[in-house]
């Protein structure tokens, strides 16, 4: 097949038209890449934000989650009676539960003494909390009162806690005006709602946040027997428990959080609009380039028609120009996207990753952009009248 192609190929007019005009193609590539980078960044931020909103959620060792029906998102969790979790234990497939308190408390930066809101999780250290197998050991240190585990991925504004701790220094600071000591480091990651996280025992939590009614918790984690039908447990627990609590699967809990950021905030809209603007800018640039290219070469296209090339083959030339531009614009956009993503990851600690789905969606958008502009520019070809060139 390749041999047949090589035998039948003709002068690659589209390629030569583009490459013999280096300035024009550079402008085109710059424009398309710029549009591509814009789309990569906007969609990357959007997806990164949504992923970041569930960084902690994904780490929970749970199959089902109990939340208050009044909870709207991780930044506005309402409490429900802890008894419900004990009642849930009665179900034959439930093998373990963990009561989790979840709220924002003020953390004092031990270096410059400024305060900042941090997400504090309180739980009973004898129960499971995170999937990480090394966590158990760290959790044991919380059995002493006034100890916290600090999230080493928290933003730098919380102070150089992890480096101090690693260097063997005793890190003590204030949370909600009470003295605490960092007894270990965990890796959770900041989210949109929370710039940093700390984990402590339920006892310390209640001490730090004394307004919290002792019988009230924000999240109940439920672990079930291996291979049990999650959906049916969710149904039967929802039916048996009073309606001051809602039982959902861990995946629904993750979706619930993502959904909040997607639908109840303008984040999704803003970033999608940003990407759409990149797309429109790209369309305008490619159209301009291709249109002026066709206009400049109109006598030559007319000559080709006079020689016997039909309109279809000339349309093919413009289409191929669009295709080449799409390819040549996408590659630098992809590479810059990767670089900028790692820059974003290191400076914001948001989980912005180059996903295959996004890379292919943006390729399709760029291809669509270039081919659409090519089709619009082809209309100009109709002006190529071979009778006019004599």
Least CB distance to another protein at residue 380 (A) = 17
Query: Dihedral of the CA atoms 84, 85, 90, 94 (nearest 10)?
Result: 140
Least CB distance to another protein at residue 379 (A) = 18
State the residues that interact with another protein by CB under 8 A: 6-11, 13, 16-17, 20-21, 297, 299-300, 303-310, 386-387, 389-390
Least CB distance to another protein at residue 190 (A) = 53
Least CB distance to another protein at residue 194 (A) = 58
Q: How far apart are CA 330 and CA 145, in angstroms?
A: 56
Kindly give the interhelix angle for 267-296 and 298-307, rounded to the nearest 10 degrees.
60
Residue 150 pairs in a beta bridge with 185, 198
Nearer to another protein among residue 88 and residue 289 (C-beta): 289
Nearer to another protein among residue 108 and residue 297 (C-beta): 297
Least CB distance to another protein at residue 255 (A) = 54
Nearer to another protein among residue 5 and residue 356 (C-beta): 5
Number of Cβ atoms within 10 Å of the Cβ of 22: 9
Least CB distance to another protein at residue 378 (A) = 17
Nearer to another protein among residue 157 and residue 388 (C-beta): 388
- The dihedral through the CA atoms of 70, 105, 51, 152 has a sign that is negative
Least CB distance to another protein at residue 354 (A) = 36
Nearer to another protein among residue 239 and residue 307 (C-beta): 307
On whether the CB atoms of residues 311 and 1 are closer than 8 A, the answer is no
Least CB distance to another protein at residue 154 (A) = 58
Residue 202 pairs in a beta bridge with none
Nearer to another protein among residue 83 and residue 379 (C-beta): 379
Least CB distance to another protein at residue 377 (A) = 17
Nearer to another protein among residue 311 and residue 361 (C-beta): 311
- The dihedral through the CA atoms of 82, 86, 92, 94 has a sign that is positive
Nearer to another protein among residue 252 and residue 303 (C-beta): 303
Nearer to another protein among residue 245 and residue 289 (C-beta): 289
- The dihedral through the CA atoms of 30, 35, 39, 45 has a sign that is positive
Nearer to another protein among residue 13 and residue 29 (C-beta): 13
Least CB distance to another protein at residue 362 (A) = 30
């Amino acid at each position: 097949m390749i041999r047949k192609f090589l035998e039948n190929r003709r002068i690659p007019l589209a390629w030569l038209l583009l490459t013999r005009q280096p300035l024009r193609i550079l402008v085109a590539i710059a424009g398309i890449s710029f549009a591509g980078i814009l789309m990569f960044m906007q969609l990357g931020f959007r997806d990164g934000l949504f992923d970041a909103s569930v960084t902690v959620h994904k780490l929970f060792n749970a199959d089902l989650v109990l939340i208050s029906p009044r909870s709207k998102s991780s930044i506005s969790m309402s409490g429900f009676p802890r008894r419900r979790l004990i009642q849930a234990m009665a179900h034959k497939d439930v093998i373990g539960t963990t009561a989790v308190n979840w709220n924002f408390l003020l953390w004092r930066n031990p270096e410059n003494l400024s305060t900042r809101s941090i997400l504090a999780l309180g739980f009973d250290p004898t129960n499971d909390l995170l999937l990480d197998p090394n966590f158990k050991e760290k959790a044991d240190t919380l059995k002493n009162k006034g100890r916290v585990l600090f999230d080493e991925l928290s933003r730098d504004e919380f102070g150089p806690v992890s480096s101090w701790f690693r260097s063997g220094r005793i890190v003590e600071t204030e949370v909600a005006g009470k003295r605490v000591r960092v007894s270990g480091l965990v890796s959770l990651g900041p989210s949109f709602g929370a710039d940093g996280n700390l984990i402590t025992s339920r006892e310390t939590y209640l001490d730090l946040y004394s307004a919290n009614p002792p019988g009230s918790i924000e999240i109940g984690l439920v672990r079930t027997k291996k291979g049990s039908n999650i959906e049916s447990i969710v149904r039967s627990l929802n039916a048996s428990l009073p309606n001051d609590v809602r039982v959902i699967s861990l995946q629904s809990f993750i979706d619930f959080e993502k959904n909040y950021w997607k639908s109840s905030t303008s984040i999704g809209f803003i970033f999608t609009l940003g990407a759409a603007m990149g797309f429109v800018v790209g369309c305008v640039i490619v159209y301009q380039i291709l249109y002026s290219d066709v206009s400049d070469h109109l006598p030559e296209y007319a000559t080709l028609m006079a020689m016997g090339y039909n309109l279809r083959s000339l349309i093919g030339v413009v289409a191929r120009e669009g295709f080449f531009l799409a390819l040549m614009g996408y590659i630098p956009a992809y590479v810059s996207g990767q670089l900028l993503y790692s820059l974003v990851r290191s400076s914001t600690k948001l989980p912005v990753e180059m996903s295959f789905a996004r890379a292919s969606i943006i390729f399709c958008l760029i291809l669509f952009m270039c081919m659409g502009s090519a089709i619009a520019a082809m209309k100009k070809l109709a002006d190529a009248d071979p009778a006019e060139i004599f």
